[in-house]
């Protein structure tokens, strides 16, 4: 079809002429001018005369008589005139619809004046607010849980002679969802063991004693069948600890469990300050790749690693603490300093981690090394946008850690995904039906808040 203004040919389905912007009005052809109609009429008249002359010649040859001759004579005059008139007529007379005019632009409607605000009613008796519903339980998010533990003690870096070593065995990694199955408290005065409190604890849910927990702790369901409950044991343990400084390896884990369980039983908050031998070991020996308790025991010459039980771990933690307090103190490392080579290997040839990415991988490695099930992690470049950390066949972690973007994506176990759909730590993850959940971070310290999730993504597969 053709544009009604500029006459250029355009597509049949075009609503606007691409050349002049005129609405096509359905794509009607332009009107013919008078000169065009005259030429068209003359052409049709000549064609009609020629055609009728041929027909007349054929009739004469056939000698059909006077009637046919008269009909022929009328045809010679009438037919060319009719054809000429039809060819020269405007489109409107031919039955074609004229193009639709472009709709006129209507002026924008004036914005309605908003009604005046309703008068403020006089003050009445205050209405009691509706009680809030119990919030969802956020599992294994230390940063969030810390906000729920305003009375928790401080993490100290000083040296003390009088302390209590604390170690727990639990059914999992989450203080809010898992239970304590063994507690050991060893009291030291002047660096010498003076007393101890050790007890198994029967969990409320025996189904939580999975094969992984049994193999890891050496504690079987049969051993716990006749054990006292947490309501019986924890008041005695808290009385035994008193106000002493608590020492432990990755002791924040134990403190969080004890804090939450004490609150749950109505025993009040656990407010004791604590010293973390894991933090102390990283500060004194940053060049070492492994700061696990069993590794420190072996390197310090304290003895062979014992079974993963609370009392044995507590005593060896005390020995490691006493050994490290005799070492010269070193300057604390900053968050973004050049980290020691992590216990990971980069399996993407020709690629190398930046300084920030190396520090990130070192922090992840340090978190994972505290779990006995941790073995080996590879760093792979499976995408141009991020790095992937793989443990065996488990693509458990993806990350991007640059000046412009910092995030981590974890392949969470099913039970953690179900319990953390409303967790603010994973607000960046829009589709909660995917396996990998994304969390935005601002620095390496945020990884400590996600440590339980990172460990679970790596080993709980």
Percent of the chain predicted with pLDDT > 70: 67
Is the pLDDT at 125 greater than 50, yes or no? no
Task: Give the CA distances from residue 314 to residues 87, 95, 152, 254, 327, in Å, rounded to whole numbers and listed in that order.
Answer: 109, 102, 21, 12, 20
What pLDDT, in 10s, does the model give residues 131-140? 333 333 333 3
Name the residues annotated as catalytic: 308
Mean pLDDT of the chain: 76
Tokens standing for 261? Answer: 């369980």
Q: Around 360, how many Cα atoms within 13 Å sit in the side-chain half-sphere?
A: 25
Is the pLDDT at 265 greater than 50, yes or no? yes
| Residue recorded with tokens 């008589």 | 65
Residues composing the chain:
461
Per-residue pLDDT, 257: 93
Q: How many CB atoms lie within 10 A of CB 118?
A: 6
* Phi, psi dihedrals of residue 439, rounded to the nearest 5°: -135, 130
Is the pLDDT at 197 greater than 90, yes or no? yes
Measured distance CA(99)–CA(81) in Å, rounded: 29
Measured distance CA(92)–CA(242) in Å, rounded: 105
Is the pLDDT at 406 greater than 70, yes or no? yes
Is the pLDDT at 146 greater than 50, yes or no? no
Per-residue pLDDT band for 294 (boundaries 50, 70, 90) equals confident
More confidently predicted of 417 and 194? 194
Q: Which of 148-152, 184-188, 424-428 has the lowest mean pLDDT?
A: 148-152
Tokens standing for 229? Answer: 């409950």
Per-residue pLDDT, 347: 56
Per-residue pLDDT, 417: 85
Per-residue pLDDT, 234: 96
Per-residue pLDDT band for 93 (boundaries 50, 70, 90) equals very low
Per-residue pLDDT, 204: 92
What pLDDT, in 10s, does the model give residues 318-334? 999 999 988 765 444 33
Per-residue pLDDT, 382: 79
Measured distance CA(362)–CA(288) in Å, rounded: 11
Measured distance CA(198)–CA(195) in Å, rounded: 10
Of these ranges, 23-37, 64-78, 227-241, the one predicted with the greatest mean pLDDT is 227-241
Per-residue pLDDT band for 77 (boundaries 50, 70, 90) equals low
| Under 8 Å between Cβ of 420 and 414 | no
What pLDDT, in 10s, does the model give residues 340-383? 433 455 555 556 788 888 889 888 888 877 665 566 778 888 78
Per-residue pLDDT, 354: 84
| Under 8 Å between Cβ of 308 and 216 | yes
Measured distance CA(141)–CA(154) in Å, rounded: 18
More confidently predicted of 329 and 57? 57
Per-residue pLDDT band for 75 (boundaries 50, 70, 90) equals low
Tokens standing for 2? Answer: 């053709």
Per-residue pLDDT band for 3 (boundaries 50, 70, 90) equals confident
Is the pLDDT at 187 greater than 90, yes or no? yes
What pLDDT, in 10s, does the model give residues 436-453? 899 999 888 888 888 888
User: According to the 3-state scheme, what is the secondary structure of the chain?
Assistant: CECCCCCCECCCCCCECCCCCCECCCCCCCCCCHHHHHHHHHHHHHHHHHHHHHHHHHHHHHCCCHHHHHHHHHHHHHHHHHHHHHHHCCCCCCCCCCCCCCCCCCCCCCCCCCCCCCCCCCCCCCCCCCCCCCCCCCCCCHHHHHHCCCCCCCEECCCCCCEEEEEEEECCCCCCCCCEEEEEEEEEECCEEEEEEEEECECCCHHHCCHHHHHHHCCCHHHHCCCCEHHHHHHHHHHHHCCCCEEECCHHHHHHHHHHHHHHCCCCCCCCCEEEHHHHHHHHCCCCCCCCHHHHHHHCCCCCCCCCCHHHHHHHHHHHHHHHHCCCCCCCCCCCCCCCCCCEEECCCCCCCCHHHHHHHHHHHHHHHCCCCCCCEEEECCCCCCEEEEECCEEEEEEEECCCCEEEEEECCHHHHHHCCCCHHHCCCCCCCCCEEEEECCCCCHHHHCHHHHHHHHHCC
């Amino acid at each position: 079809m053709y544009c009604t203004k500029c006459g250029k040919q355009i597509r049949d389905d075009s609503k606007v002429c691409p050349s002049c912007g005129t609405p096509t009005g359905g794509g009607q052809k332009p009107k013919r001018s008078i000169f065009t109609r005259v030429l068209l009429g003359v052409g049709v008249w000549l064609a009609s005369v020629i055609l009728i002359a041929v027909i007349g010649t054929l009739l004469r040859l056939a000698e059909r008589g006077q009637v046919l001759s008269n009909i022929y004579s009328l045809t010679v005059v009438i037919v060319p005139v009719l054809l000429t008139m039809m060819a020269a007529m405007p489109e409107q007379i031919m039955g074609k619809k004229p193009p639709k005019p472009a709709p006129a632009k209507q002026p924008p409607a004036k914005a309605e004046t908003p009604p005046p605000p309703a008068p403020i009613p006089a003050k009445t008796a205050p209405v009691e607010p509706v009680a809030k519903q119990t919030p969802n339980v956020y599992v294994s998010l230390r940063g969030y849980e810390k906000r729920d533990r305003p009375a928790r003690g401080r993490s100290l870096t000083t040296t003390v002679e009088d302390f209590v070593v604390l170690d727990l065995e639990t059914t999992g990694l989450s203080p809010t969802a898992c239970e304590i199955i063994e507690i050991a408290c060893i009291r030291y005065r002047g660096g010498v063991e003076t007393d101890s409190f050790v007890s198994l604890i029967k969990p409320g849910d025996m189904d939580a004693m999975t094969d992984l927990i049994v193999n890891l702790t050496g504690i079987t369901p049969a051993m716990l069948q006749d054990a006292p409950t947490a309501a019986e044991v924890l008041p005695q343990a808290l009385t035994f600890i008193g106000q002493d400084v608590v020492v432990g390896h990755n002791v924040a884990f134990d403190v969080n469990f004890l804090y939450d369980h004490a609150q749950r039983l109505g025993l009040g908050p656990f407010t004791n300050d604590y010293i973390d031998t894991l933090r102390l070991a990283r500060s004194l020996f940053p060049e070492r790749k492994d700061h696990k308790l069993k590794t420190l025991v072996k390197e310090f010459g304290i003895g062979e690693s014992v079974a993963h039980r609370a009392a044995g771990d507590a005593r060896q933690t005390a020995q490691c603490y006493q050994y490290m307090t005799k070492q010269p103190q070193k300057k604390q490392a900053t968050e973004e300093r050049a980290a020691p080579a992590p216990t990971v290997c980069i399996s993407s040839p020709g690629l190398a981690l930046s300084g920030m990415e190396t520090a990130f991988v070192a922090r992840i490695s340090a978190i994972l090394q505290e779990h006995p099930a941790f073995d080996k992690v590879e760093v792979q470049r499976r995408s141009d946008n991020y790095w992937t950390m793989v443990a065996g066949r488990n693509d458990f972690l993806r990350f991007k850690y640059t000046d412009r973007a910092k995030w981590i994506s974890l392949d969470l176990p099913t039970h953690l995904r179900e319990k953390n759909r409303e967790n603010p730590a994973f607000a960046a993850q829009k589709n909660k039906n995917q396996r990998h959940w994304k969390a935005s971070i601002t620095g390496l310290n945020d990884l400590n808040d996600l440590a339980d999730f990172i460990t679970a993504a790596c080993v709980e597969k």
